[in-house]
Structure 1
Amino acid sequence: MSTVLKVIVCGTTFGNVYLQGLARLPAHYHVVGILGRGSVASEACARHWKVPLYRSVEELPEVDLACVAVRSAVVGGHGTELAKALLARGINVVQEHPVHHDEVVDCLRLARQHGVLYRLNPFYSDLAPVRCFIDAARHVLSLREAEYIDAACSVHVLFPLVEMLGQALGGLRPWAFNLHAEAVGPFMSISGELAGIPLHLRVQNQMHPGDPDNHTQLLHRIVLGTRGGTLSLTDTHASVLWSPRAHVHRNAQGVLEMDGDAPALDLAVSSLIGHPQPPTLREVFSDLWPDSIAQALLRVHAAIGEPNDSALAQFHLSCCKAWQQLGTVLGPAQAIH
């Protein structure tokens, strides 16, 4: 679409990141309001962005798109109920992850009934370092076979880890997950397979009941091992490294030629692919996160009015299933204080 779409943002905590992302796209979107509960924070947010604050779906003016940045039922919020009410009004919806598989199915069905778009936003896969890893993984796997995946994350961001790996590998099936009985420090260990590739996953399955957005040991770290070497995402917001697999030729006597003339000896043991200087946390919040939202919303703008992408919807449904199965294997998060 070439028109500027009228958009509202629902929620003002993570919703503020959506507002920053939308501010980067004036040729595509015009924010016409914020939907909130009328808290001091939501009123302050509306004043900052100089837009009206609405308190119910019924109050909304005519809009083209709603960005639902409110927790869904699976994490104790009413985001999916809100998404359904918006879809029923004929409004296109982008909903922030995570969302239960069955709720995504319901929203997709409602979207079809009302001729609008519903899209789940996994968010993290549009961050520049993660996108660099995904693109590099696809290139590496076009040349060399995958041999293993070693990954770690906090339970808070387990769904986007699944989605990131699914993008990098070109799919998720077949998968299988088995829990190791003994936790190591704050991490629980899972072995199995993803996309048929051997998987070792460590998850910090802990949460502070009164401060659920903090106290994570890490967000995401991924090592993809292939027959040619390993590709590593050192952190969600940091660097991507390629480390070629070391191989030293033997001479006729069977001695390793560590001072020979093989080209492999001149390869760097590790090469930085992107993002040589990791950002500060302030830069993450002010630049990387809004840029991720802007990338996702550019695709949404292009998709509105077009036939729904069933392949993308099916991929996201597979991500939901795999994530929920991992959650079942892990069990409830341990409460920490």
Structure 2
Amino acid sequence: MSEKINAVVCGVNFGSFYIKAIERSNKLALCGILSKGSEKSRRISEQYNIPLYTDADEIKDADVVIMAARSMITGGRSSSTVKKLLKNGISVLQEQPVHHLEVRDLISAAADDVKYAVNNFYRYLPGVHEFLAYAEKLRAERKVLRCRMSCSSQVLYPLMDVLYSAAGGAESFTAQKAADGAMSVITGEINGIPYFLDYYNEYTENIDSSLALFFDLKIDTDGGNLILTDPAGDVIWQPHLSCMRDDESNTEKYRSSMPMKRLYSGDIADYAQLYEKAWPEAMERSVLDFIGSEAAELKARHLRQCEMCSMVTTAAGAPVKIETPYTDSVML
């Protein structure tokens, strides 16, 4: 592609990560900011010498708008702006989470050739990318027995997106609460495969802060377990334990094999590297993949994943607000 893809970012708080992603890209160009006109948005507009739009109808030359402002499910009203953009023929990549009823409404507002998707840039981090590649190989070669996973409510959608890909889609999906508490246990099946989800269902005033955990995923098969420790962490293969007797064949080969094999080593040293490099790189890939995808496939996939999230949150019940967030600590 010789010409750059023109992108407008709406929302300059979390959207600042997308701005970094566009700034580092040789395929994307920042052509405007859509905002209510905050001081921060004015500074960014002046810094990059780009238009500051205060109404979606003002945008004419954008190939994509990245919506990084909150949707209804997190107390925002960005979806009304998304609908206006889609009706104007402008494709929109919307930051998660978004309720599946909102997604259904937005898809109905978009023409067949106008693209819309809920974004999960975490899947474009190297570790998650490697995990999904190994998961695809496992589906072809082994019998998948179950999936075990955990997440905080803020990152349920990214986890459901990764689970959807790891399972090869979601022709069937169910969710029921098995145990209550701050860490609810949700059980169900995806494509006939049982899953167990430890779901952290508390939040603080700043919904994006104080995550008690991010997300992890384990796929158990008849030959061993594939483990994603964290989106920025390791991918591990854990063969089944088998205590062999001395007179059995291949004893030395088994004894010399590793009980846990690291397939990918997370190489993110600190949060500075995560925010300044890893996230923007993943966001760039997510935007480029969105641009290169088919509109109908995007809409069907992301609607299904949002439905999966809704089923989990319905089973878990309303989240509990805590006044004092858990404090950070350093393990010595």
Question: What TM-score, normalized by structure 1, do the two folds share?
Answer: 0.89
User: What does residue 307 of structure 2 align with?
Assistant: 321
Matching residue within 207, 212, 215 for 1:217: 212
Q: Deviation per CA, 1:215-245: give whole Å up to 9, x if none.
A: 2111101111111111111112111111111
Is residue 239–residue 278 contact of structure 1 (8 Å, CA) maintained in 2?
Answer: no
Q: CA deviation at 1:61?
A: 4.5
State the distance in 1 between where 2:184 and 2:203 align.
13
SS in 2 for 1:142: helix
Is residue 120–residue 286 contact of structure 2 (8 Å, CA) maintained in 1?
Answer: no
Is residue 89–residue 111 contact of structure 2 (8 Å, CA) maintained in 1?
Answer: no
Q: CA deviation at 1:286?
A: 0.9
State the distance in 2 between where 1:9 and 1:107 align.
18
- Whether 1:51 aligns to 2:50 is yes
Q: Deviation per CA, 1:192-235: give whole Å up to 9, x if none.
A: 22221121110110001x22111211110111111111111111
Count of matched residue positions in the alignment of Structure 1 and Structure 2: 323
User: What does residue 329 of structure 2 align with?
Assistant: none
Identity among equivalent pairs (%): 29
State the distance in 1 between where 2:5 and 2:211 align.
37
User: What does residue 197 of structure 1 align with?
Assistant: 193
**Residues 194/257 of structure 1: CA separation in 2 closer, same or farther (3 Å cut):** farther
Q: CA deviation at 1:309?
A: 4.2
User: What does residue 23 of structure 1 align with?
Assistant: 23
- Whether 1:243 aligns to 2:243 is no
Q: Comparing 235-244 with 42-51, which one deviates more in the overlay?
A: 42-51
State the distance in 2 between where 1:302 and 1:24 align.
19
**Residues 111/182 of structure 1: CA separation in 2 closer, same or farther (3 Å cut):** closer
Matching residue within 254, 260, 263 for 1:264: 254
**Residues 275/48 of structure 1: CA separation in 2 closer, same or farther (3 Å cut):** farther
User: What does residue 127 of structure 1 align with?
Assistant: 125
Q: CA deviation at 1:118?
A: 1.9
Q: CA deviation at 1:23?
A: 1.9
State the distance in 1 between where 2:138 and 2:247 align.
27
What is the letter of the counterpart of residue 133 of structure 1?
A: F
- Give matches, 1:136-151, under 5 Å: 136-151=134-149
State the distance in 2 between where 1:257 and 1:24 align.
60
What is the letter of the counterpart of residue 28 of structure 2?
A: Y
SS in 2 for 1:180: strand
Q: CA deviation at 1:259?
A: 9.9
State the distance in 1 between where 2:299 and 2:216 align.
26
User: What does residue 299 of structure 1 align with?
Assistant: 289
SS in 2 for 1:296: helix
Q: Comparing 10-19 with 52-61, which one deviates more in the overlay?
A: 52-61
State the distance in 1 between where 2:25 and 2:297 align.
26
SS in 1 for 2:227: strand
**Residues 312/34 of structure 1: CA separation in 2 closer, same or farther (3 Å cut):** closer
User: What does residue 62 of structure 2 align with?
Assistant: 63
User: What does residue 41 of structure 1 align with?
Assistant: 40
Q: Comparing 290-299 with 95-104, which one deviates more in the overlay?
A: 95-104
Q: CA deviation at 1:262?
A: 4.9
State the distance in 2 between where 1:246 and 1:203 align.
28
Q: Deviation per CA, 1:236-275: give whole Å up to 9, x if none.
A: 211111111123444xxxxx65896353332211111112
User: What does residue 71 of structure 2 align with?
Assistant: 72
5+ residue gaps in structure 2? 324-332
Is residue 203–residue 319 contact of structure 2 (8 Å, CA) maintained in 1?
Answer: yes
Question: What TM-score, normalized by structure 2, do the two folds share?
Answer: 0.90
Is residue 57–residue 84 contact of structure 2 (8 Å, CA) maintained in 1?
Answer: no
Is residue 150–residue 200 contact of structure 1 (8 Å, CA) maintained in 2?
Answer: yes
